């Protein structure tokens, strides 16, 4: 009997994991499923021990891991403490673009494979990004609030206050991964000229998409709209800051639907009030949720949403499916497709063989 824990939440529910794994395995009764429901997103994620963006439920997770060999999750906090308490664990499937809720060094030391789900929310995040752009450029959210408050803002139809169009605009995408590529495709359909800065992206892919790859400072100088799509690393922390935000054309629009730490928020209120920054659209923040009294709450021309870019039903279903496929490969003794700690595969063969032999004997 192989014990699998579906540590889901209110977005990717345990039942989604269980149904996806069952559909992809020839389960003849050899799989035993247990469920744990974590509180995200009704409670925000945060740092837990040595990991980030996790639900702070270590005791509950340790209790649920009794004799478990495989876990599928989105927000469970896999710290060194958890690995020490789960000696039977062999595989973790994290249904996110990166397994930031797993201490990879501790996982590797424990001989646990960590799989993840690249591209699971790419379509949802890309569509949402374009929606944020349009909302900021055309004051959709601002005028909605004004009209409901009884204010008919005819002054937004004056030339000085009118919005700008995507058709003919130069849009700079900082990061050209799965999400950036979809955003680029949509923008080019609108008639935008798209430029990108991503030192890790394939230049041939960028060129084939009809996009120009340029340096970051050039991108900021040329773009009337700038959108962030990079991963948050020590290298990219505050990659947009008071110094280089001054390079933007006067009145430019900025969108951040990637990660809060990519952007230094401190200079933004002053840039918005001066008009140097024409509008700002945010789905992510340096602290989530922002504290009451945060200066951007009272700044002009700001669109804010509570980290919703990936919130579609298709994202949840796709996430469960991607990790379920890798669970099925692991159960067959095959190499999973999306492994975050490939060094552990050097010792995988005897461990996997032992698990499979044990199930056959039972």
Catalytic amino acids? Answer: 259, 288, 307
Scored b (16 or more CB within 10 A) or e, 299-337 reads: bebbbbbebebbbbeebbebbbbbbbbbbbbbbeeeebe
Q: How far is CA 100 from CA 73, 79, 262, 286, in A?
A: 12, 11, 16, 16
Place of tokens 């084939």: 208
236 closest CA partner among 182, 175, 183: 175
End-to-end CA distance of the chain: 7
Q: How far is CA 233 from the centre of its chain?
A: 13
DSSP conformation class of 334: P
70 closest CA partner among 34, 99, 106: 34
16 closest CA partner among 8, 26, 24: 8
How many other C-beta atoms can be found within 10 angstroms of the C-beta atom of residue 187? 25
Q: Which uninterrupted H or E stretch holds 183?
A: helix 178-190
339 closest CA partner among 118, 144, 190, 119: 118
CA distance 295 to 284: 15
How many other C-beta atoms can be found within 10 angstroms of the C-beta atom of residue 149? 7
Q: How far is CA 51 from CA 99, 106, 228, in A?
A: 9, 11, 23
For residues 10 and 45, is the Cβ–Cβ distance under 8 A?
no
268 closest CA partner among 233, 224, 303, 236: 303
């Amino acid at each position: 009997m192989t014990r699998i824990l579906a540590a889901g939440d209110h977005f990717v529910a345990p039942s989604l994991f269980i149904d996806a794994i069952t559909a992809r395995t020839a389960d003849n009764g050899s799989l035993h499923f247990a469920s744990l429901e974590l509180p995200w997103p009704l409670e925000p994620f945060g740092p837990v021990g040595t990991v980030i963006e996790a639900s702070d439920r270590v005791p509950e997770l340790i209790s649920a891991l009794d004799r478990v060999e495989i876990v599928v999750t989105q927000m469970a906090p896999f710290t060194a403490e958890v690995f020490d308490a789960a000696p039977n664990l062999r595989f973790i499937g994290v249904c996110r673009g990166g397994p930031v809720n797993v201490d990879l060094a501790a996982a590797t030391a424990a001989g646990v494979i960590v799989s993840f789900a690249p591209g699971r929310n790419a379509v949802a995040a890309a569509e949402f990004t374009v929606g944020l752009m349009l909302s900021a450029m055309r004051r959709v959210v601002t005028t909605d609030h004004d009209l409901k408050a009884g204010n008919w803002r005819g002054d937004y139809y004056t030339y000085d206050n009118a919005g700008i169009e995507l058709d003919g605009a130069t849009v700079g995408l900082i990061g050209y991964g799965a999400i950036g590529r979809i955003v680029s495709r949509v923008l080019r359909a609108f008639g935008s000229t798209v430029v990108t800065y991503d030192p890790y992206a394939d230049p041939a892919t960028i060129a084939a998409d009809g996009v120009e790859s340029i340096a970051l400072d050039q991108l900021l100088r040329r773009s009337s709209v700038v959108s962030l799509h990079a991963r948050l690393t020590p290298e990219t922390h505050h990659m947009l800051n008071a110094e280089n935000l001054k390079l933007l054309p006067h009145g430019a629009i900025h969108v951040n639907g990637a990660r809060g730490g990519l952007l230094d928020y401190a200079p933004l209120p002053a840039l918005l009030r001066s008009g140097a920054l024409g509008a700002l659209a945010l789905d992510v923040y340096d602290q989530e949720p922002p504290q009451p009294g945060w200066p951007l709450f009272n700044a002009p021309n700001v669109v804010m949403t509570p980290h919703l870019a990936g919130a579609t039903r298709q994202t949840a279903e796709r996430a469960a499916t991607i990790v379920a496929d890798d669970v099925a490969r692991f159960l067959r003794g095959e190499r999973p497709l999306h492994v975050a700690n490939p060094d552990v595969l050097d010792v995988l063969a005897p461990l996997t063989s032992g698990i499979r032999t044990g199930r056959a004997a039972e």
